[in-house]
Structure 1
Amino acid sequence: MIEGVDEGLVPSRSWIADPPTVTAVIVCRNGSRWLPTVLDSLARLSHLPSAVVAVDVASTDNTREILARYLHPASIRTAPADVGFGDAVRIALDGAPASEWVWLLHDDAAPGEDALAHLLDQVTQSDDIGAAGPKLREWPSLKRLLEVGVTITGTGSRETGLERGEPDQGQHDRPHDVLAVNTAGMLVRRRVLDDLDGFDPNLPLFFDDVDFGWRAARRGYRVRAVPASVFFHVEAASTGLRPGSRAPRPRREQRRAATYTLLANAGRAGFAWQSVRLLLGTVLRSLALLVAKAPREAADEMLGVLGVYRRPFAMIAARRRRAAASRVDQSDVRARLLPSPLLPYRHGLDTVGDLVSTLVGPTPESTGRRAAVEARPIGEVDDELPVSGSLLSRHPWLGATVVLALAALVSARSLIGSGFLSGGALLPAPDTASAWWTFFFASSHDVSIGSDVAAPGYVVPLAAVGTVLGGNADLAVSLVLLAGVLIAALTAHRLSRRLFASPWVQLWWGATYGLLVAASGALAQGRIGTVVALAAAPAMVNSAAALMTRPRVADGVRLGLWLTLATAFAPVTYLLAGIPLLVAAAVRLRRQGWPSVLTALVLPWLVLGSWMWSRAVDPGAWWWEAGRADAGVGSLDVAAWQLGLGHAAGPGTAPALLGIGVALAGTAALMRPATRPRVLVAWAVGLWALAWAVVAAGTTFTDGISTGPVWVGVPATLWLAALAAAAGLAADGLAERMRAGGDLAVALRPVVALLVALAVATPVVALGWWVVRGSDDPLDRGSAEQVPAYLAARAEQGSSTLVIEGTAEGGVSAQVVSGDGMRLGDEAVLAGPEAYAPLDDDVRALLSTPTTRVLSGLADYGIGAVYLPSPADDTLVDTLDAAPGLEASGGPEGARVWVFDAEPDDPYDPPTSQRRGWVASVQVAILLIALVVAAPGRNRTRGGPR
């Protein structure tokens, strides 16, 4: 029985003096599971129909016996198995008593007590209302909305205007005109049904209601949604719950029906465009379903649409029938009753968001919630639905996200404009994203003196982002770096839903983690490697937690992808994550779980290729990250106590005392016995990261010819984030515990309040500091040129420039610049020190005793000019002016340029690896395969209203 039905609005009963006659038609097909409840609900109606007729469509269960217990034999019809819903209605009305109205019912849709009364009250208010339908709620939950009227998008999706899983809180209870209403509970005038010749027999199961409503609107009738009338619908056919359904492949039939409905009712001007759009969209959706590991559904998608296209004469006949019956211009119907053309694309973005959320990692409450709803017995009311309230009170994280997004925009105020984002560790991006793709697959690199070194793996995700952004590589870098705080906060909040029960603790930890990225100085120093690694870290932990509870290869691949991304930008992340993962697997997993763990650990070596293997043979290279090794940020010396507070040193780093609140709260977390085991795990992870920071702080590393101080921003930030996690674990549920405690709890309240205040102050103060300080200096936006434009143009003839900076007394540095200068990615493919040794000797000779032989040696490297940036040292200028074979060529103000008199006998031929392109192709292929394996398998979705 259905219980807990809302009373709704009391109808005016304007028709009580002369009640309308109503024939109820119940179409049944193997619905014995729900049919008794439906028939009992009909018997309890406050206003009963004049007659009830049932049609049994070849049921193989005891449907016929159930009908016989409730209805007179003369009211029961039988139909063959191939009969659709519309034809079943015709069979029911053939010989039925004449009536003004026909009420269409399903055997899996139970009406509320006043359902018919509310419908009649609406339809009798105007003669132009041809049909009306109820508000549909989900059965068995009884509270979740399914439909309050329906329309169709330009891509053939059934559009209800509701959020998924939206609870019924009266927010859609105003009666309104719609394109169509569901046949489960549709009340239609008999003369309108006859005027439209019933339902289209070409739509036996899906979208017959949408097509009927569309034809009614073009005929001049109104279709009304009446939310006060409530039905509870199982949707048995589309959810696969109905035995012996006429649509064993619901998706195929749904796509065929949607395509037919759109094309049959499209206007003359829009028919051609709609035909092309549907076909192209179907191809794209089918490819997406193949990527999502749903080949069966991909085939259904394509075959469903082709089922319409291969019968052009049937479509022409359907369009002629509709055009002949039309009294209202199609454009008027579209403007009033069809959704915005942009709606399908918004849904597409939602789908992408769902995919990303799944890749980041499922949350336990979402999985458990779905299982609980599916397992709930029929008739049991869902009492756990969200309560009403403001959007921000129900979703506090939404407000935090908006604040962080605005803060990111304000802090980047001086970095918004034209030019290239660069400075500190960040090199300018190339002119286009396609340059990154070419760079990754190239067999040689025209960088400095040239090399055949493998390109770094991080250019692939950057190139992908840039391609999506219309080929704008600088925009990709700007978005990843300047929005890094928000991205890190989002991934952290996703993880927090696994770690903490309280939404306020989740909010605090997610916001704190994101703002720790800003406080680390990574943004101001242009350390895009640190930003990406820290943003990916929570997703790695989330995926690892899922792997520990559900060791599947797909979960291992998902974790491996996040580990690959973080390692590509900051290789030390592999060491920080890999060893704890092995320890956790040894403690938690049995033998069958190890293949998944090993998959996660091996995948970075396969995707990143020889670039990754070079880390293993050069220990110092593990501390390299995307960008310049020598970031030009000065000393990075940091005291031990500063490291203990998560301070990594350098410009743009927040004061060390900012972390004292989190440090104290994390330490105090050890005092709560109930949460101590989980707190100790957080401490173990944090101490592991801190140990790496302590060992590396103050040291230097060399990667190729670049030498610089080690940046410990990644481990130092992870240490403080682990302390914050420990504090959050201890705070989760602490308020309830304190209220239920005795005298000791009362005595500890001031201490706990102080610790909470200090912990909360950390993200608040960090937010204010970040907004005031900004994300610039040394990060800046400007020109990418390291040499004058006319020297850069010489690169087209294979000529590079020797750039010399410094003074004869203080020392000089020299680099070979190809084109206008190095771009992001170039720093990772420089040749090794041994390749530069002869060149270094020639540069020393050039600045001391230049000879023709020295210039010839420089020309052999493809060098055709020498450039001294401003201010040019006078001693060096005099030396180069006297060098034989060099011709002064002016230069910008304060700078000097010399070009070589003669071209080299043989053009410079940089090292080339013929296998490099093939190897890069294999790496990308492995990455694509991993993405397909890690992508969530597509669950079967509801195919329609049945």
Structure 2
Amino acid sequence: MFEGVDEGLVPSREWLASPPSVTAVIVCRNGARWLPQVLDSLASLPHLPNAVVAVDVASTDETREILGRYLHPASIRTAPAGTGFGDAVRIALDGAPQTEWVWLLHDDSAPGPDALAHLLDQATQSDEIGIAGPKLREWPSLKRLLEVGVTVTGTGSRETGLERGEPDQGQHDRPHDVLAVSTAGMLVRRRVLDDLGGFDQQLPLFFDDLDLGWRAARRGYRVRVVPAAVVFHVEASATGVRQGSIARRPRRDLRRAATYTLLANASRPGFLWQSVRLLLGSVLRTLALLVAKAPREAADELGGTLSVYLRPGAMYRARRRRAAASRVDQKSVRERLLPSPLIPYRHGLDAVGELVNTLVGPAPEMTGRRAAVEARDDDEDELPVSGSFLSRHPWAATVLMLALVALVAARSVIGSGYLAGGALLPSPESAGAWWSLFTSGSHDVSIGSDAAAPGYVVPLALLGTLFGGNADLAVSVVLLAGAVLAALTAHRLARRLFASPWIALWWGATYGVLVATSGAVAQGRIGSVVALAAAPAIVNSAYLLTTRPRVTDGLRLGLWLTLATAFAPLTYLLTAAPLLLAGGVLLRRRGWPSIATALLLPWALLGSWMWTRALDPGAWWWEAGRADAGVGDLDPPTWQLALGHAGGPGAATYATGALVLLGLLALMRTDRRAGVLVAWAAGLWGLAWASLGAGARFTDGISSGPAWVGVPATLWVAALAAAAGMAADGLTERWAERPLRRRAYAIGVVLAVAGPLLATGWWVARGVDDPLERGPITEVPAYLADRAADGDSTLVLTGSREEGVSQQVVSGDGTRLGDEAVMPPPEAFRDLDNDVRRLLANPSTGVLERLGTYGIQAIYLPAPADDALVDALETVPGLKPSGSPEGSRAWTFTTESDRTPAPDSALRPIAAYIQLGLLLVVTVAAAPGRAREVR
């Protein structure tokens, strides 16, 4: 009946001299679709069983009539609805001939040629072999492997050791001992089945085979898989094609069966650990299913697990029965037959890899027209694709190369210490400091503050928490790998913009290089890096919103916009006007709720921190980190802005010239004029903002500095590159018969490749340091920083009497990333400024006492300390000279004062937790729903 089974060499089969008796048991339930072929395959075996008994479990189709045509009425049993597999086998064997072996089959499992004889070949080799099972292959494809023996992981998953859809090419054809074999084709000694008490009645449908094999192994019997014996299995119950399944909630029953099997068979020392592990794992999976918007599956997951824990008596009896029957050490069974404890986590990494592959792999979308072009045979997806990794996975190879280039470029800032410099402040000691900063009503920075924390600390805190609390690692990954992240989001957008995958690859990689060579990385502008990495995702979400205006699309766009705005608020202004214009032109009334959702969400999630931008327009130019990166005035000439450069170190000034030229040439292609003009309009919008901010200074109410226009300037060049890509899309076929135009196209390709390659070479050669660096925090000496544990701060004075003195109050070892946004406003320092002037002009202990009310207990002059300031402070009564690095000076107070309580807002923590709760709700609502199979 089934062809293509390689029977290999036929063994001598000494058992044929005295053939063992076999009873075949077929359990049926609404299997009329497959039952005739199963019975025909059984009847065509060269070596037939001595008896065949079928059990019909309340079938409502033609199963009973089919059985009547093939079998004697005395060989047909009837079982009531809801009867499990083990009970059905028990009903079949009651009154059946007493044979040496029982061969179990499903109504959707057809034995291959000589399957029974191959099973007996192995089963009769030793009396220790109590169970033998075949190799299962998929029916109807016939070639894909399902199981060659099975075991169970510590998390309750069936482990077959096979890849999904793995074809049978003889790679698993060695007979070997396993924990269990499937009941579809299981050959079990009758005395062994009776000795074990049959199948556990607590497992009517799932895990009955694993439990029986596990108990057999503990009893001292061997379970053997025989790959030469092949059974073809539909898996009708598992795949949902069978009508009238006895499992109303399959996932719940599966989880219950897995938990029950693992706990019932766990060793005594491992029972407690396994109980905790399974419960925690189930809770985590439940949360993941809720995030995936699968509440029914989440309820089944947790309900199935708890149903075992809520019946301790049943578990106690199950474990007692197994302990009484056990004759083999549990440790021996675990070492021989159970998989590595790392297997579940390896599968978890595979799942993460699949998730990453959706981002870096080919476009998952396919229109109905493209999908209907051709129908492939089942064999086609089993053939390996030849060629190098680059030819088979060009985008993945490009991402790996970009990552390698980014790693080499960051060579000088990889190591110990903190990543800082330019606009980037050192990270806090742990991610917990960011959580505390966001949820606290009072901040121990400078003289104390109750300001609202910036929104960007939340994603950094989340990432740092995922990295084991390592805040510096989170910042390093975002900043140093930001170009790679930007390339990933850009390529995802490019797959929507361009029909040619090679143009999509070029634009994605080019965008990543533009981010790396914009100067943002070298200048420590983490806000610009995140905003530029999120920009393609914003455009992509906006495109989806304008084509299918749904609230969930508005939420996704709003989340991306919130992320970018939290790091670089100017992104909001760059997005709002084009989105409103696109909505007015394309959607009119029907899309406004979604657009309003997207534009209002940042105001809700970022709270009062966002509202201050509306009250102070200059604050829109602020980005995460220092307002002044210390790279001089950022006033690039017009020609540099036209090339997309915002000024400062770390920018590849001339490398973008080819992209600008290609963008201009793109206007010449008239049949793609619409897309090219849209790209130009987007680019000019960015260039307009870059021109507006270049050379300007801004203040956010706390500090001031020159405006950095790297985000709009980079987007300007990226838009011109997109225009060039749109114009080039499809030109190869159109100009195939025109040699002159082909040469022009070739020149364009050279320009398109040369620009990014030149920028990449410059990126690698220069590196990303200066002013970015990695090292220790040296704002104040370590012993002064340690005094922060007692609430003491240090007054740091810089400058000279002739040029003016600047003062800063430092808590701990200095300002950390996030602290700069919650500093007290300038007006809060008026009294302190007056006290510092009195200290230098007319020192007295009274001045020190007033300074002490701010928590100041030390004064520090960094190198080179001004001699006039040193002379003035040496005469101050109540100051004691202390050790300090060469060229600097430090004094500690000998007097103590009661510190004035720092400002504290009772509403800030409440608002912060509301924002976090809203963020969680919106993220769950915006997340893609769990894919459900349509049968």
TM superposition score normalised by structure 1: 0.87
1:632 aligned partner: 630
1:822 aligned partner: 815
Equivalent pair of 2:207/2:261 in contact (CA under 8 Å)? yes
1:575 aligned partner: 573
- Cα deviation, 1:751-793, whole Å, max 9, x if unaligned, reads 3333334434455444444333333221122222412234434
1:304 aligned partner: 304
Structure 2 residue corresponding to 1:771, chosen from 748, 755, 764: 764
Structure 1 residue corresponding to 2:927, chosen from 926, 932, 935: 935
Instruction: Tell me how far 1:342 sits from its aligned partner.
Output: 2.1
Unaligned runs of 5+ residues in structure 1 are none
Q: Distance in 2 between matches of 1:610 and 1:63?
A: 69
1:915 aligned partner: 907
The worse-fitting range, judged by mean Cα deviation, of 564-573 and 809-818 is: 809-818
Change in Cα spacing, 1:708 to 1:227, as seen in structure 2 (3 Å) is farther
1:81 aligned partner: 81
- Cα deviation, 1:39-72, whole Å, max 9, x if unaligned, reads 6766787987776543321012333334445555
The worse-fitting range, judged by mean Cα deviation, of 775-784 and 451-460 is: 775-784
- Cα deviation, 1:867-906, whole Å, max 9, x if unaligned, reads 32111223443444466776655643212234567555x6
Q: Distance in 2 between matches of 1:552 and 1:361?
A: 26
1:137 aligned partner: 138
Change in Cα spacing, 1:657 to 1:167, as seen in structure 2 (3 Å) is farther
Change in Cα spacing, 1:364 to 1:449, as seen in structure 2 (3 Å) is same
The worse-fitting range, judged by mean Cα deviation, of 659-668 and 926-935 is: 659-668
Q: Distance in 1 between matches of 2:784 and 2:97?
A: 94
- SS of equivalent residue, structure 1 residue 824: coil
1:182 aligned partner: 182
Change in Cα spacing, 1:867 to 1:607, as seen in structure 2 (3 Å) is same
Instruction: Tell me how far 1:539 sits from its aligned partner.
Output: 3.2
Instruction: Tell me how far 1:154 sits from its aligned partner.
Output: 0.6
Change in Cα spacing, 1:120 to 1:783, as seen in structure 2 (3 Å) is same
Change in Cα spacing, 1:57 to 1:686, as seen in structure 2 (3 Å) is farther
- SS of equivalent residue, structure 2 residue 333: helix
Q: Distance in 1 between matches of 2:377 and 2:64?
A: 27
Instruction: Tell me how far 1:830 sits from its aligned partner.
Output: 2.0
Equivalent pair of 1:527/1:626 in contact (CA under 8 Å)? yes
Structure 1 segment 294-373 matched on structure 2, within 5 A? 294-323=294-323, 325-326=325-326, 328-349=328-349, 365=364
Instruction: Tell me how far 1:97 sits from its aligned partner.
Output: 6.5
- SS of equivalent residue, structure 1 residue 479: helix
The worse-fitting range, judged by mean Cα deviation, of 144-153 and 875-884 is: 875-884
Instruction: Tell me how far 1:173 sits from its aligned partner.
Output: 4.3
Structure 2 residue corresponding to 1:644, chosen from 636, 642, 645: 642
1:603 aligned partner: 601
Unaligned runs of 5+ residues in structure 2 are none
Change in Cα spacing, 1:51 to 1:671, as seen in structure 2 (3 Å) is farther
Q: Distance in 2 between matches of 1:357 and 1:595?
A: 33
The worse-fitting range, judged by mean Cα deviation, of 418-427 and 329-338 is: 329-338
Change in Cα spacing, 1:324 to 1:666, as seen in structure 2 (3 Å) is farther
Matched, 1:657 2:658: no
The worse-fitting range, judged by mean Cα deviation, of 529-538 and 598-607 is: 529-538
The worse-fitting range, judged by mean Cα deviation, of 446-455 and 883-892 is: 883-892
The worse-fitting range, judged by mean Cα deviation, of 250-259 and 807-816 is: 807-816
Q: Distance in 2 between matches of 1:169 and 1:663?
A: 54
Q: Distance in 2 between matches of 1:821 and 1:422?
A: 12
- Cα deviation, 1:494-530, whole Å, max 9, x if unaligned, reads 4444445655545444433333322222222111112
Equivalent pair of 2:523/2:649 in contact (CA under 8 Å)? yes
Change in Cα spacing, 1:31 to 1:474, as seen in structure 2 (3 Å) is same
- SS of equivalent residue, structure 2 residue 796: strand
- SS of equivalent residue, structure 2 residue 183: coil
Q: Distance in 2 between matches of 1:102 and 1:30?
A: 23
The worse-fitting range, judged by mean Cα deviation, of 200-209 and 574-583 is: 574-583
- Structure 1 letter corresponding to 2:201: P
Matched, 1:223 2:208: no
Instruction: Tell me how far 1:628 sits from its aligned partner.
Output: 0.1
Instruction: Tell me how far 1:257 sits from its aligned partner.
Output: 1.0
- Structure 2 letter corresponding to 1:896: R
Instruction: Tell me how far 1:693 sits from its aligned partner.
Output: 2.1
Change in Cα spacing, 1:136 to 1:802, as seen in structure 2 (3 Å) is same
Change in Cα spacing, 1:217 to 1:494, as seen in structure 2 (3 Å) is farther
TM superposition score normalised by structure 2: 0.87
- Cα deviation, 1:160-180, whole Å, max 9, x if unaligned, reads 33455x453748544453433
- Structure 2 letter corresponding to 1:868: L
1:709 aligned partner: 706
1:168 aligned partner: 167
Structure 2 residue corresponding to 1:409, chosen from 407, 410, 416: 407
Q: Distance in 2 between matches of 1:501 and 1:222?
A: 55
The worse-fitting range, judged by mean Cα deviation, of 274-283 and 348-357 is: 348-357
2:715 aligned partner: 718
The worse-fitting range, judged by mean Cα deviation, of 277-286 and 119-128 is: 119-128
Q: Distance in 2 between matches of 1:193 and 1:436?
A: 61
Q: Distance in 1 between matches of 2:649 and 2:3?
A: 62
Instruction: Tell me how far 1:396 sits from its aligned partner.
Output: 3.9
Change in Cα spacing, 1:355 to 1:291, as seen in structure 2 (3 Å) is farther
- Cα deviation, 1:888-945, whole Å, max 9, x if unaligned, reads 55643212234567555x6334333232222222222212222232334445699xxx
The worse-fitting range, judged by mean Cα deviation, of 858-867 and 637-646 is: 858-867
1:158 aligned partner: 158
Change in Cα spacing, 1:666 to 1:335, as seen in structure 2 (3 Å) is farther
Structure 2 residue corresponding to 1:743, chosen from 737, 747, 757: 737
The worse-fitting range, judged by mean Cα deviation, of 513-522 and 798-807 is: 798-807
Matched, 1:252 2:244: no
Structure 2 residue corresponding to 1:696, chosen from 693, 698, 705: 693
- Cα deviation, 1:408-459, whole Å, max 9, x if unaligned, reads 4333333233322211111112223222222222222232233221111111
The worse-fitting range, judged by mean Cα deviation, of 219-228 and 705-714 is: 219-228
- Structure 2 letter corresponding to 1:153: T
1:262 aligned partner: 262
Instruction: Tell me how far 1:630 sits from its aligned partner.
Output: 0.4
Equivalent pair of 2:112/2:229 in contact (CA under 8 Å)? no
Equivalent pair of 2:252/2:301 in contact (CA under 8 Å)? yes
- SS of equivalent residue, structure 2 residue 483: helix
- SS of equivalent residue, structure 1 residue 229: strand
Change in Cα spacing, 1:382 to 1:93, as seen in structure 2 (3 Å) is farther
- Cα deviation, 1:398-417, whole Å, max 9, x if unaligned, reads 43444344444333333233
Structure 1 segment 797-876 matched on structure 2, within 5 A? 798-840=791-833, 843=836, 861-876=854-869
1:434 aligned partner: 432
- Structure 2 letter corresponding to 1:259: T
Q: Distance in 2 between matches of 1:503 and 1:455?
A: 43
1:29 aligned partner: 29
Instruction: Tell me how far 1:810 sits from its aligned partner.
Output: 4.5
Change in Cα spacing, 1:856 to 1:328, as seen in structure 2 (3 Å) is closer
- SS of equivalent residue, structure 1 residue 658: coil
Matched, 1:467 2:459: no
Equivalent pair of 1:885/1:900 in contact (CA under 8 Å)? yes
Q: Distance in 2 between matches of 1:671 and 1:116?
A: 74
- SS of equivalent residue, structure 2 residue 11: coil
The worse-fitting range, judged by mean Cα deviation, of 619-628 and 336-345 is: 336-345
Instruction: Tell me how far 1:487 sits from its aligned partner.
Output: 2.9
1:238 aligned partner: 238
Aligned length: 926
Equivalent pair of 1:185/1:231 in contact (CA under 8 Å)? no
Instruction: Tell me how far 1:236 sits from its aligned partner.
Output: 3.3
Equivalent pair of 1:142/1:381 in contact (CA under 8 Å)? no
Matched, 1:272 2:272: yes
Q: Distance in 1 between matches of 2:804 and 2:64?
A: 99
Change in Cα spacing, 1:87 to 1:419, as seen in structure 2 (3 Å) is same
